[in-house]
Each structure stands twice: as C-alpha cells, then as structure tokens.
Homo-oligomer: A and B are copies of this chain.
Amino acid sequence: MNRKIFIIHSSEIIRKGINTILRNYFNVEIVLLEKIEELKAFYELNGQEIIIIYENLSGKKPVNFKPLLDKNQINWIIFQNDKEMSDEPLPLCKFYITLATQARDIERMVSRCWDKSKKQPRTEENEELTIREKEVLQLVALGHSNKAIAEKLFISIHTVISHRKNITEKTGIKSISGLTVYAILNNLIDTETINPEDLI
C-alpha cells in the first residue's frame, strides 16, 4: 500500500525541519503544504496510508480530516506550540509535536502511527550484486545510457536492461541519482577523483 506523509504548517522553517528529520527514517513520499486547503489537490489519493502532521497553534480545535480523505487510512499528528496547548482533548490523535520536540521523538511518533498496521519488512535477503551487475551499475553512475553501456561491455542493450532490472530489484533503488549515491557509498565510483563534468 502506498504511504505518504503530509506536513501542513504555515512556517516553512518548521515544514522543512520536520521533513529533514523524517526523510532520514522513512522511505515514503513526504508532501509539504502551507495550508490545509492545499490538501484538496490530493483528493484523488484513495486507498492510501497517510500520516498528516499539521499545526494547531493558538489552541484552536483541530480539523478533522476524516471526511476530507475518507477512503484513506489516515493518522494524524498535531503540531502544537508548547505554550498554547488546547484544553479540550484532541480527537483521534495521540501524538503531539512541539517546538522543542527532538528528531527521535518525531520519528517514534510517526513509527507508532504506522506500527499498528505493519512494520516495513525491510527484506535484508542480502541480495549481493553480481560482478556484472556492479559493472553495469558503475557505468550507470558514471552517466552512461543503456545503449552506451551495451557498447562498452560488448553486450546487447537488452542484457543491460535485464541487469538494471535486477539491480533495481536487489537494491530497491529506482532512480539514477539513488543508484549514483549507492555507487559512491559502495566505492564503485569515487567523487574524489571523478569530476562531475566528466560524467557524460
């Protein structure tokens, strides 16, 4: 099931702060919105698991998202300024973020919102890349097209595509930039010696 996190807050600083914190822990799409109204643009999101983190400064009664996104499994986390806690209990929400909240607290809150359904399996079958796959990955990270890789390795483009499919499957990384970072972290290419401008 597709998962998303919406961060709705009027302050760009806070939006980006929470985003930075969550990005490190959760491999899901995070959408930053300034106003609740912008959620309307996502009406078509049905049947998704969603966490909404939204501000409730000045102690107002918080919005109930249920009718807004009815087909989705949603949980929400309320961002509340320390000093302005509402007196009334907040509906369907057990989690609060305050200005002072630490990264690990935020991470824990989001985790709990999802934990009840299921933890990411995180298939660590340790699917090592084969030699050929590493060669292909290296060339991908060096900026070569499938066609160019085929020529360089004296194989057909179909084979290259097959290898890339396997690489994507094993690493779980789809994007070229993700693969590039992976290649750097796994010493398949070297940012010290390689000039980005050399990367065709």
Contacts and interface: CB of A to CB of B under 8 A. Distances in A.
Specify which of A19, A100, A178, A179 lies most central, judged by the most chain B CB atoms within 10 Å of its CB: A178
Oligomer: number of copies? 2
Interface string A152-182: 1000000000000000000111111111111
Given A13-B17, A14-B99, A103-B12, A176 B173 contact: no
Contacts of A10: 99-100
Interface string A9-22: 01111111111110
Given A16-B16, A142-B177, A175-B200, 7 more contacts: A13-B99, A14-B99, A17-B18, A141-B177, A143-B176, A171-B196, A179-B196
Interface stretch (A59-67, A85-93, A187-195): A187-195
A27 interface: yes
